[in-house]
Amino acid sequence: MIERTFVMIKPDSIVRGLIGEVLGRLEKKGLKIVGMRMIHMSEAQANNLYAVHLEKPFFKDLVGFIRSAPVVVLAVEGESVVTVVRRVIGATDAKEALPGTVRGDLSCSKSMNVIHASDSLENAQKELSIFFTDSDLMKYSRLDANWVC
């Protein structure tokens, strides 16, 4: 079954010129980008996205970092997309991310870890709704859809 998830290319990727590399990894895996925009995240969007961390001591720094430079927000589709994206991007901590994953190859630290992706379909729906409406998302077929696993 085709599912949809939220992915965000973080400020550290933007300032390091890694947008194309990160997008390429997702597309080469056969995932379909159905929504994409570069934004400077508002404080309200950041607070909403990271609301689960509100009471944690690092919340203010997290919001400050995510608003320090533009981000690219993405709506991504694919079969078992949450699981697939999380495997492609690797562990949150750069020291634990395996080589071959986005974070294993590109991240610098636990906080500057290149990319964010929803950890469940429920969170994906919530996170997508912060940045996209249904009319923002594109419908199209990839030419390789029958060949990509």
SS3 content of the chain, % helix, strand, coil (to 5): 40, 20, 40
Let me know: does 9 contact 72? Beta carbons within 8 Å: yes
| Triad 4, 6, 10: Cα angle to 5° | 155
Q: Which of 85, 116, 117, 118 is catalytic?
A: 116
- Measured CA to CA, the distance from residue 32 to residue 147 in angstroms comes to 13
Q: Is 40 an annotated catalytic residue?
A: no
Q: Cβ of 33: how many Cβ atoms within 10 Å?
A: 17
Catalytic residues: 116
